[in-house]
Structure 1
Amino acid sequence: MNKNIIYIVLAVFVGLFGGWLIFGGSQEELISKRETSEHEHLGNAIEKKWTCSMHPQIMQPEPGDCPICGMELIPANMDDEGLAVNEIKMTKNAMAFANISTTLVGDGKDEGSMKDISLSGRIRVNEEEEMVQASYFDGRLERLNVSYEGQDVKRGQLLATIYAPDLVAAQQELISSLSLMESQPALYKAVRNKLKLWKLTEDQINTIEKTGKVREYFPIYATVSGTVSEKMVAEGDYVKQGEPLLKLMNLNSVWVEFDAYENQISSLEKGDKISLTTNAYPNRSFEATITFIDPILNQRTRTVAVRATLNNGDGIFKPGMFVKGNLESSKGKEDNLPEAIMIPASAVMWTGERSVVYLKVNGDTPIFRMREVHLGSRNGDMFVVNSGLQKGDEVVTNGAFTVDAAAQLQGKTSMMNQNQEEEISSSEIGNMKMVLSDSFKKEFKSVLPSYFNIKNALVIGDVSGVSKYSKDFQNGLVVIDESDLHNIEKSHFSKIIDLAEDLVNSKDLKYQRDIFITLNENLVPIVMNIGKTDNLVYLQKCPMANNNKGAFWLSMEKKIRNPYYGDQMLTCGSIIDSIQ
């Protein structure tokens, strides 16, 4: 009986153990498989973008081949939140705490217009109203009645008392000539006129004649009214005839002097009305008239002085005050210039020669990416964007440095960490707007065949051919009439001519290809704005050229034939745009 109980208990244990081995192991394996499946699913959710190791700007939602070089795509380097290496995500609380705000490019809320010109300047003394009170005879100042600079002086006011030996002698001559008044009237008149030339009045001269007494100390009266800007003498000084005693300024009108940049000069002319504001009177605006534009450019600041005259009858404007001016250019209306893309200066960060902004890549989620931009002129607190942004882009305008600091902490691309190149927009060059006359367009089209010859020579590495065709290109450029071009267009055209000359003189293929990069940066925007061409022209780009920053060129062939690498990577590149 006891043996049976023991056998039954052993059988139960054996059964339980066998069941555990069979079903328990399967359950663990099932759980393990489930966890592995979930992990793989999560990994697939994160690594949902594929890129090319040679062309990191390529981002595809699924694996395949690179559309540029044909290499097999690899999973993009994404973080745990699915962000690319050049993207940073911030929480809404962090944005609110750091007071980060964004602006939509092209919404018109913060943008100015190139027809509306903003200038900064300061109040200056009207030099036309500056005067000097001089001494009209030699002598010693016994008393000076002007105590300080800034003191108001009225015409006829006693300014000083002077001892003048020459004046004493002249008074004695006048008294002596009285007895000769009838016999020698000319002598009498000459002595009297001498005293008048020394600014003695008729009453003073008549008093000397009547009393017959010589005055040793003589008063000096103000001949003009104004405010003392400088005391040039002190009591007890000896002064010479004509030596200035005081400088006076009349502040009933003042000058407002602005610094205008080169690109603004063409929009300014004498007679334009300019609206002024100043910190001293923030709720008021004033109007002045441009009366002078300096004909000489300041080579250090690259600006010209623009002067406006402002009525100051109330005396509220003080020399040295800072003011801001705004005017709507009459020339801007006539020229009908295209609307430029402008962003606030607060959005721009400078990294040496580069200027960058932070772009919000998702309208609903605070994800930001650093973007390099090429800026034009500054208009007040706004910058013109030549390339890098388009209308509809959303940029950080307040707190950009905070976003950059967060990128540094997360090891992302930032101002201090630029080892990883950010994506280069393929439309940066093609979207640059220019104003070109019909005659310029026609003449510029005529030199394009020489350009295509240069490009083809670079493809096959023909150094002498590049030099030869560049000479033809240069000869065609120098005869083009550029008088109708504006500042930006003229700058691009001048650089093209200079670079063509460099190509003519260069005998090194690598240097020629480097020059060709810069040549295209200036030439492509012009070609993209000249309208229809005789043949279909393709805008092509190699992302690896220019130290992986990308470089453009124009071609009449749809097939990629890379001028920057030739046989080494002949087909590396893609078509960005075309001109019909």
Structure 2
Amino acid sequence: MNKNILYIGIAIIIGLFSGYLLFGNKSGTSNHELSDGHNHTKEVKNQMWTCSMHPQIMQPEPGDCPICGMDLIPAESGAEGLAMNEIKMTENAMALANIQTTILGNAKASDEDGIISLSGKIAANEENNAVQASYFDGRIERLNVNYEGQKVNRGQLLATIYAPNLVAAQQELITAGSLKESQPALYKAVRNKLKNWKLSEKQIDAIEASGNVRDNFPIYATVSGTVSEVMAKEGDYVKQGQPILRVTNLNSVWAEFDAYENQISNLKIGQKIKVVTNAYPNKEFDATVSFIDPMLNNSTRTITVRTTLKNTEDLLKPGMFVNGKLKGLTETNSELISVPATAVMWTGERSLIYIKTNPNEPIFEMREVTIGSRNGENFTITSGLENGDEIVTNGTFTVDAAAQLQGKKSMMNKGKRDAPTMLPSQMKIDLSVSFQKDFKKVLNPYLKMKDAFVLSDANQVSTFAKATSESLKSIDINNLGKMEQSHITKSIEMLDAISTNDNLENQRTNFVILNENIIPIAMNMDNFGAILYVQKCPMANNNNNNKGGIWLSTEKDIKNPYYGDAMLTCGSVIETVQ
């Protein structure tokens, strides 16, 4: 008995000692890991989560986006201390995108300072155009020159024409020839008649001497050149003065360039310009500006600058692309800031540049600038930058893409500083009792149209849009104010546009404008008899700086009419019509 107790005691002691050897050291490690785990938890708590489609969403833990339902992703950390529209990039991202920066004011002066580059085309010199016409009525029996590009020389036979009037005039000449002694005035008048039809003295004398009437008469070229247009064909009946051919003399041609609006002040007639064409890249043609179009092209915002070039060697062909370089009128100002063209992003309304705001870290911010003129591959900046600023000169669009993903001010997004959009309920509209009674009938076809948008059924959308339009047109709006009438008229215009269009994207674009006009009316109704929800998708209407699109629904659950199945639950209720 005592021996068994002893054995048990020894086993317990050995077990305790073995346990210490096996787990005692790990216990210390575990404490260390717990300590590390505590710090990691602290970091996790500091980690914010955002939506790639809605960067304004920030949540302290992962999950689904409350707007579109997409999985949240970790927000970029380390952005503490940044200004509202500053972005920070990693060194790896900078290297992968080959983002390069330049400090303004350190660049050496270019040999091409003050040189303006223009692009254009060679065109036919319209001053050298000539029209070869028929001098008498008749039928073209033979057309000797019948295709464009054919060379013609002065005096060359162009066509042969059967002319009944000339047949009668020849008979008069033969008759008058026998009476020229007794009736010289008649004889002279008949000869002048033939001369007016461009018959030469030699031809008239030949007709008179032979006494034979010719049925067909030739037409000869009056100028030399190249046929640019054939305006008749064999067998055609032509009237006196009707064009047969258009001939262009290409011994001289025009070089027509497009100059932008901000370059106009640097141009004047008489300036020397050097012209280079892609066909002869090593050959320069010296010319002088001979014409500056006084009218600006509204669509391209350019004017035409023309110069005349000698072309005796027939090197220049109409339609060739050419480049021109000329010295600008304004003297180079060393105080003006010049930046590479690769640094500037142009949206059509704004010129944008990214500057590096921290010299020691890759932190950038977009800045709007005003462009003066373009000199070669550089832009002159008149405002928005200062010497010493460090700007992005390569990879600008990559930096802008990073700004867009972070919801910062960018090329396609003016940032979060825009004024908040007015809610439909904030627009006060006065509606008569009779109008409100009639307007309630519009709701049913409108909701059916909205449901058709959710199903992405363009045909059904058109059908219900037409029904909504007809219902709205039946309402008397003469007693409404001008603003109220404007909303109704615009709503009808959009409904008609939707009903006559079978392109779903175009229908949805018009649906945005329809709702902006019709929902404020619904929000000012005294009693609809049912609860209506004003819902909004922030991703719609992206052509208007992501302003978002609104719609009416009788259901609180979101069913997005702007994207359908693609983003069915994207949106939220912004107001309720009781």
| TM-score, normalising length: structure 1 | 0.54
> What are the equivalent positions in structure 2 for 1:258-337 lying under 5 Å apart?
258-298=257-297, 301-329=300-328, 331-333=329-331, 337=333
Query: Which amino acid in the other structure matches residue 402 of structure 1?
Result: T
- Quote how far apart the aligned CAs of 1:134 are: 0.9
Give SS of 1:259's match.
Answer: strand
Residue 89 of structure 2 is aligned to residue 89 of structure 1: yes
| Contact in 1 for aligned 2:169/2:190 (Cα 8 Å) | yes
> What are the equivalent positions in structure 2 for 1:436-455 lying under 5 Å apart?
none
Give SS of 2:313's match.
Answer: coil
Residue 371 of structure 2 is aligned to residue 376 of structure 1: yes
Q: 1:90 to 1:201 in 2, by over 3 A?
A: farther
* Alpha-carbon distance between aligned partners in 2 of 1:296 and 1:255, rounded to the nearest angstrom: 18
Counterpart in the other structure of 1:455:
none
* Alpha-carbon distance between aligned partners in 2 of 1:414 and 1:269, rounded to the nearest angstrom: 38
Question: Which deviates more from structure 2 when the two are superposed, residues 149-158 or residues 185-194?
Answer: 185-194
Counterpart in the other structure of 1:358:
354
| Contact in 1 for aligned 2:353/2:369 (Cα 8 Å) | no
Q: 1:82 to 1:286 in 2, by over 3 A?
A: farther
* Alpha-carbon distance between aligned partners in 2 of 1:410 and 1:263, rounded to the nearest angstrom: 34
Residue 139 of structure 2 is aligned to residue 144 of structure 1: no
Q: 1:113 to 1:202 in 2, by over 3 A?
A: same
1:411-439, CA deviations, whole angstroms, 9 ceiling, x for partnerless residues?
665446664679xxxxxxxxxxxxxxxxx
* Alpha-carbon distance between aligned partners in 2 of 1:184 and 1:99, rounded to the nearest angstrom: 97
| Contact in 2 for aligned 1:111/1:342 (Cα 8 Å) | no
Q: 1:211 to 1:83 in 2, by over 3 A?
A: farther
Give SS of 2:387's match.
Answer: coil
> What are the equivalent positions in structure 2 for 1:340-489 lying under 5 Å apart?
340-350=336-346, 353-361=349-357, 367-379=362-374, 382-409=378-405, 414-415=410-411, 419=415
- Quote how far apart the aligned CAs of 1:403 are: 2.6
Counterpart in the other structure of 1:167:
166
> What are the equivalent positions in structure 2 for 1:480-559 lying under 5 Å apart?
none
Counterpart in the other structure of 1:245:
244
1:136-189, CA deviations, whole angstroms, 9 ceiling, x for partnerless residues?
111111111222222221111111110111211222222223333444444433
* Alpha-carbon distance between aligned partners in 2 of 1:176 and 1:358, rounded to the nearest angstrom: 92
Q: 1:179 to 1:148 in 2, by over 3 A?
A: same
- Quote how far apart the aligned CAs of 1:363 are: 6.3
Counterpart in the other structure of 1:457:
none
Query: Which amino acid in the other structure matches residue 89 of structure 1?
Result: M
Give SS of 1:332's match.
Answer: coil
* Alpha-carbon distance between aligned partners in 1 of 2:301 and 2:246, rounded to the nearest angstrom: 33
| Contact in 2 for aligned 1:111/1:344 (Cα 8 Å) | no
* Alpha-carbon distance between aligned partners in 2 of 1:304 and 1:101, rounded to the nearest angstrom: 35
- Quote how far apart the aligned CAs of 1:322 are: 2.9
Counterpart in the other structure of 1:518:
none
* Alpha-carbon distance between aligned partners in 2 of 1:285 and 1:90, rounded to the nearest angstrom: 48
1:319-373, CA deviations, whole angstroms, 9 ceiling, x for partnerless residues?
23332222113x324xx656532334433335684442223456686x2413212
Q: 1:358 to 1:203 in 2, by over 3 A?
A: same
- Quote how far apart the aligned CAs of 1:222 are: 0.9
- Quote how far apart the aligned CAs of 1:238 are: 1.4
Give SS of 1:266's match.
Answer: helix
1:119-140, CA deviations, whole angstroms, 9 ceiling, x for partnerless residues?
2322222111011101111111
Give SS of 2:324's match.
Answer: strand
* Alpha-carbon distance between aligned partners in 1 of 2:346 and 2:116, rounded to the nearest angstrom: 24
* Alpha-carbon distance between aligned partners in 1 of 2:111 and 2:300, rounded to the nearest angstrom: 23
- Quote how far apart the aligned CAs of 1:284 are: 3.0
Q: 1:103 to 1:255 in 2, by over 3 A?
A: farther
| TM-score, normalising length: structure 2 | 0.54
| Contact in 1 for aligned 2:139/2:163 (Cα 8 Å) | yes
- Quote how far apart the aligned CAs of 1:98 are: 3.8
Give SS of 2:381's match.
Answer: strand
Give SS of 1:308's match.
Answer: strand
* Alpha-carbon distance between aligned partners in 2 of 1:240 and 1:418, rounded to the nearest angstrom: 65
Query: Which amino acid in the other structure matches residue 393 of structure 1?
Result: D
| Contact in 1 for aligned 2:79/2:88 (Cα 8 Å) | no
Q: 1:133 to 1:81 in 2, by over 3 A?
A: same
> What are the equivalent positions in structure 2 for 1:73-112 lying under 5 Å apart?
79-80=77-78, 84=82, 86-91=86-91, 94-95=93-94, 97-108=96-107
Percentage identity across paired residues of the two chains: 57
1:514-552, CA deviations, whole angstroms, 9 ceiling, x for partnerless residues?
xxxxxxxxxxxxxxxxxxxxxxxxxxxxxxxxxxxxxxx
Q: Which runs of 5+ in 1 are unaligned?
A: 17-23, 43-76, 423-580
Counterpart in the other structure of 2:255:
256
Q: 1:95 to 1:144 in 2, by over 3 A?
A: farther
Query: Which amino acid in the other structure matches residue 146 of structure 1?
Result: V
* Alpha-carbon distance between aligned partners in 1 of 2:365 and 2:255, rounded to the nearest angstrom: 40
- Quote how far apart the aligned CAs of 1:289 are: 0.9
Give SS of 1:180's match.
Answer: coil
- Quote how far apart the aligned CAs of 1:220 are: 1.1
Q: 1:310 to 1:351 in 2, by over 3 A?
A: closer
Query: Which amino acid in the other structure matches residue 84 of structure 1?
Result: L
- Quote how far apart the aligned CAs of 1:261 are: 3.7
Q: Which runs of 5+ in 2 are unaligned?
A: 18-24, 44-74, 419-578
